Amino acid sequence: MQRVEREIERLIKEINYDEVTRLFEMLQGGKRLRAKLILKIAHSSEKAPLLAAIVELIHGASLLHDDVIDEATLRRGVASVNATDGSKTAVMLGDILYSKAFTELVSFERDIAKIVASSVTALSKGEMMDVKMADEFNGDEEKYLDMLYLKTATLIEAAAESAAILAGKDSASHALYGKNLGLSFQIIDDILDITADAATLGKPAMNDFVEGKCTLPYIYLYKVLNDDDKKKLVSLHAKMLDEQDALWIKQKMQEHKTIEKSFELAQKLSNEAMSVMKDDTELVNILQTMIKRSY
């Protein structure tokens, strides 16, 4: 990981603009999940740290754009770039990171470059779908999971698949592992948005619903509520929740066990990923650690 950080530092320095360096430092402090995944899969490859750095630049760019779209003021518990320096600057910084990542990506073989580049198209499409879906309450589980795959899982899938190609390993099984890791990781995040407190999250609790996002616990809840309660849940969508309304939603979720049902899907996806990687203890451990982040 030290080599990855040095590569990231080098790439940012090559942009040759102090303002970019200053702003990029505000994005530090993430889990570096995608980079760690690449290093574990392709640990013997000399080019693995550079590929990991490229993927982290792409991830950083997507977060910058995501914060602008969501009008988020916090990122990992600190002020977001759009909050401190404005949305225009955040968008331009994201564009710079994307373009720098693509500039470096062309040094890799065609298959790897295409997989990573295609994942950026997919995650951008997923972001657009997410914005569109926030316009009204969504009770369609399949539609939500399709969006989740594009927005969150594709880059993790691409990281695992491209690392496998770099290391001469089976790319299909690693792609499935990355896809399911990405999906289950985000489902757990969706659960934590409801169950964790603001201090732990680094943002207000139940913020997803306030922003108009209907994550799995809300979708499952909608399916089992009576007509009056369905109307009430829909009426609260994309609005600031007072303490009483937030408590009502949580109590209904407890009553109908929609958090548990969401966790079961995350566990199922995780188990499927473990089954294709059962001989790789480190990759199995990543899944087990991730799934324990819940409640």
Domains of the chain plus CATH, in order, are: 1-30+48-107 (1.10.600.10), 117-295 (1.10.600.10)
**Predicted local distance difference test score (pLDDT) of residue 293:** 76
Residue 294 has pLDDT above 70, yes or no: no
pLDDT of 180-210, one tens digit each? 999 999 999 999 999 987 666 666 789 999 9
Amino acid, single-letter form, for residue 20: V
**Predicted local distance difference test score (pLDDT) of residue 292:** 85
Enumerate residues 6+ apart whose C-beta is below 8 A from 114: none
**Residue range 104-123: mean pLDDT, rounded:** 97
**Predicted local distance difference test score (pLDDT) of residue 201:** 62
Task: Identify the band that residue 30 occupies on the pLDDT scale cut at 50, 70 and 90.
Answer: confident
**Number of CB atoms found within 10 A of residue 139's CB:** 17
- Helix ranges (DSSP H) in 1-32: 2-15, 18-25
Contact 50, 58 (CB under 8 A): no
Whole-angstrom distance, CA of residue 206 vs CA of residue 189: 11
**Predicted local distance difference test score (pLDDT) of residue 78:** 86
**With pLDDT > 90 as the criterion, what percentage of the chain qualifies?**
88
Amino acid, single-letter form, for residue 272: E
